Amino acid sequence: MRPTIGQKLVQAAIVSGLILCLSGCYYMQAARGQMEVMRKRVPISEVIDAEDTPPELADRLRLVREARQFSIEELGLPDNNSYRSFADLERDYALWNVVAAPEFSLEPKQWCYPVVGCVSYRGYFDEVKARQLGDRLQADGYDVLVGGVAAYSTLGRFSDPILNTMMHWEDVDLVAVMFHELAHQLIYVKDDTAFNESFATAVEEFGIERWLLSKGQQRQIAAYYERRDLQRRLMQLVADARTDLENIYAAALDDVQRRQRKQRRLADLTSNAISEFESAGQPAQDWWSKDLNNARLASMTIYQGLLPAFRELLSRCDDELECFYDEAEALAKLNKDERQARLGALQRDYL
């Protein structure tokens, strides 16, 4: 799964299980999974220098090392041991996320933990357990998304490595996700997934732009801008669909009528999204070609919904990162209602 819309789900929920060492199946699998990741870490320099390291992997890790230094010197991201090691988990995904929303609501189910607060997803290092939870939620009437995740963050509480699951990405995506995860270490607000993910996505976005400019990669910059514009159009389609669906769910209809109108609107969204990919000369991502539901739409909004507000904030700071981080930190210190009001105003000004 490429790190695009809805696919970069950060597993803050894992952290609480590791820190608290509570009993119970969920916390035990989280602790075992994280211990496996930590046990398999090898310093990037050792992997590069090893005689049996494939040349392609060595080149990718040199790129990671260079981008990691750039993240410190040019983006002001944390200077610590994260992303200075490599771990081969010998599987396609690091973990699997479960997102759920009621059949007639776009508000995702929340799971609450000490330390990190409430989040809109539950992560498992064991795919079978993730799908078992998804099946139970679906049986209870929820719309469900269970998806493999190639990267996650422990918010700096552990020295996160670069994983083999990230190595199939293009260079831009690999660097972008690293910037995204480091941003979570810079600012993280308990109980506000939308703020955290949109802030990190903004850092990822301007970080990649500056990274490519520093490399003089004009062709890649143009491609990045085209992809960002496509993403903007797709998110507008999602926003329009959300509005229509909220009206359908609130209307005086019986469940059969709601269900029929819901499916028609989701089918229209899928068709419109595929048309956008075709007009951009790109194949439609699997994310859009599969059946959409409330859980998929909720996850998209979680990770990109407030991005325009942070773009506006950066613009008001004249693209100065110190100012941007200070303003984002000030927002993080507000209570949630005040923060949402401020972000809403920024969002409207940007749009």
What is the average pLDDT across 236-262? 95
Per the CB < 8 A criterion, the answer to whether 180 and 200 are in contact is yes
pLDDT tier at 24 (50, 70, 90 boundaries)? low
Q: Is residue 239 part of a domain?
A: yes
Domain count, the chain: 1
Q: Is residue 340 part of a domain?
A: yes
Question: Tens digit of pLDDT for each residue in 101-123?
Answer: 999 999 999 998 766 678 888 99
Q: Is residue 6 part of a domain?
A: no
Q: Is residue 1 part of a domain?
A: no
Q: Concatenate the DSSP letters of all residues of 277-317 into one string.
A: HHHTT-PPPHHHHSPP-HHHHHHHHHHHTTHHHHHHHHHHT
Integer Cα distance of 351 and 349 in angstroms: 6
Q: Specify the pLDDT at position 22.
A: 40
In angstroms, the Cα distances linking 307 to 203, 232, 261, 312, 319 are 10, 10, 29, 9, 15
Q: Is the pTM of this model over 0.75?
A: yes
Q: Is residue 232 part of a domain?
A: yes
Token reading at 203: 């850092």
Other Cβ atoms within 10 Å of 176 Cβ, number: 24
Above 60 in pLDDT, residue 172? yes
Domain residues for the domain of 207 are: 12-350
Q: Is residue 213 part of a domain?
A: yes
Q: Is residue 4 part of a domain?
A: no
The proportion of the chain whose per-residue pLDDT surpasses 90, expressed as a percent, equals: 70
Q: Specify the pLDDT at position 115.
A: 65
* Greater model confidence, 206 or 218: 206
3-state secondary structure of 141: coil
Q: Is residue 2 part of a domain?
A: no
